[in-house]
Structure 1
């Protein structure tokens, strides 16, 4: 895992989540992550893989719709977390997914500020 690649990926995530209120950079399972109110939005699993929070029904739909971008391993089966190939997802799509994760996890007062 190349530190420069991870740093660049973290900067990309921070840039794309820049307009989401209350998003903070932290760690999850020892890797860089973005959180809101202490709740995970996304973490960098490795230099090429993101772990993005997503509702189970949305997760299944995304994997079916774009398996070249989204997937899961047995470890994540049944959990509201989706694996994302970082190089395969465009900025617009990733920004949209971050906003959806934020909408599902941000406290009501932050969601109201955004609306």
Structure 2
């Protein structure tokens, strides 16, 4: 497990993970860094809409949001505006049991990519 503490800025690491995927671009959307593979799949959310944490919001496969939020509400949440579509909120400034596991974050981001990317790009992931 590769974790981080609350003093580390998580944005560069999140950016590196997102941009390592095929044909991903980054743009500022709604005032925050956002990553696209034709459509949005991850959005950085630093205290976005009054949320108490630095986090990111991402597309998620069906049922994943509900399962993770129910199992670990200190690490995962239903984000404003897109939560009703199954998007997942992921806390990036947690401590203790809620500390960030970057291997897990890589998996979550990759799943978000697979959820929205065209099949030909998903196939490049193997």
TM-score category, normalised to shorter length: 0.7 to 0.9
Distance 1:29 1:80, change over 3 A: farther
1:58 pairs with 2:64: yes
- Other-structure match for 1:20: 21
- Other-structure match for 1:3: none
Deviations 1:29-86 (A, max 9, x none): 221111112x111111216121122135110001112211101256554222222211
TM-score by length of 2: 0.73
Cα distance between partner residues in 2 of 1:17 and 1:77: 20
Superposed displacement of residue 14, structure 1:
1.9
- Other-structure match for 1:45: 45
Cα distance between partner residues in 2 of 1:73 and 1:54: 12
Cα distance between partner residues in 1 of 2:78 and 2:114: 22
**1:1-16 alignment to 2 at 5 Å?**
8-16=9-17
Superposed displacement of residue 114, structure 1:
2.0
Number of residue equivalences: 108
Question: How large is the Cα RMSD of the aligned pairs?
Answer: 2.2
TM-score by length of 1: 0.79
Secondary structure in 2 matching 1:17:
helix
Distance 1:108 1:76, change over 3 A: closer
Structure 1, unmatched stretches of 5+, are 1-7
Cα distance between partner residues in 2 of 1:60 and 1:43: 19
